[in-house]
Amino acid sequence: MFVKKKKFFGTDGIRGPINEITNPEFVLKLGWAAGKVFSEMGIFSVIIGKDTRISGYLLETAIQSGFISAGIDVKLVGPLPTPAISFLANSFKNAAGVVISASHNSYLDNGIKFFDNRGKKLSEELENRIEQMIDEKFQVVEADCLGKANRISDAGGRYIEFCKKALTKNENFSGLKLVLDVANGAAYDVAPKVFKELGADLKVISNKPDGLNINKNCGSTDIECLKKAVAENNADFGLALDGDGDRLVFVSKDLTEIDGDQILYLLAKEKFQHNIYLGTRGVVGTHMTNQGLEDALKELDIELIRSDVGDRYVLEKLEELGWELGGEQSGHLICLDSALTGDGIIAAIKFLDAINFSNKVYKKNIKNFKKYPQVLKNVKTNDPEKIIKNKKFNALKKRLEADITNNKGRINVRKSGTEKLLRIMVESNDSAKTKNVSEELESFAKNLS
């Protein structure tokens, strides 16, 4: 089926600089357009959450006005992780979900994510329908049909209890010493409460959001402060979330980073090793997933299927295959036996539960997972498509890919779905070749940008 190329929606909602696409005028119209589409579906209520960036105040007011003008009631919850809004949309009767967040981006950006009334991200068909509605004339419903707004006072508490249910093998986190980096973001309040209520000895960092410091030198995209805190507090593990709480990275006691591929391997091993799971033994990764994960899972007789990059595509593939576990190397992990979308807090609980809170158990269980050398390069450019379609760049890519074929090598070049970047991934079992190939591609791409 032909799918129209979207003008505004990317791989994860709509995102961009606050003075460009996510300005209040556009977001007002977006709220109205989404409200009209939701009302056509028989949905007349939305739950709106946000992260902690300063522009959230502005966009919350704008999108709220848009929904109300379309006759949609609004329920506000304030700063909460993206997966919390998915949970709330699913638990409230026939309410869609909206998140105002630019995830791991800086405060200069913001974005809008949508969930349907089942707590799942919108289909491309619905996103296209909203984009079509944006082009329609703005018309406010009659006064007696306007939506109303109120706040859900116990939303955070509901989500905390929901997360705690992910702990199934152990009774609590007693005796576990953790450092938690909440990225000055949406999880700054609820995430510490989850781990404290489960009994962990907890040190929290990057938990003083001021509207400008979200993801700044902290969180899952910058773990140096987390490593330092783990060492200073002699913690068993450190874990970092991103600005909207759906991405997760761990740090072990010896200050080694544990990324999404490694976490996914441990979760898969725990899920399938006792042969009590009924159904296909399979996991969904992406084209960025390290080949080492595929090799390690194969030894356990677990199949890895790759989707396009983006947690929405991982989720689509999981639903297509009827599987439950998938994720991205960056730390977006989906455990459909517990949540309907990627959830950093739930993934962290499941990981710690799987290894019985022990670095020794972690190291023992991960020893058969040998990563291939992989280099990721980001090239800033206003037009990544121009580089991707460039004949000389593609000829170079083809030649270099052939050069590393005997080293089980591969190259993946794509445009970012969230930023103005060209992303270049090179992987092979030869670290020197991997480095050289990635540098040559990066240099060529920069000259074209």
Q: Kindly list the catalytic residues.
A: 103
Angle (CA) 442-444-449 rounded to 5° is 90
From CA 181, how far away is CA 144, in angstroms rounded? 46
Report which secondary-structure segment, H or E, holds 251.
Answer: strand 248-252
**Helix-, strand-, coil-residue percentages of the chain, each rounded to 5:** 40, 20, 40
| List of E strands, 253-366 | 257-258, 282-286, 303-307, 325-327, 333-335
Residue (of 2, 5, 11) closest to 288 by Cα position: 11
Pick left, alpha or beta for residue 217 (phi over 0 → left; psi -120 to 50 → alpha; otherwise beta).
left
Burial of 164 (0-12, 13-18, 19+ CB in 10 A): middle
| Token digits of residue 93 | 């009767």
Helix boundaries (H) for 41-96: 55-69, 82-91
From CA 401, how far away is CA 320, in angstroms rounded? 31
Evaluate whether 381 touches 301 at the Cβ level (below 8 Å): no
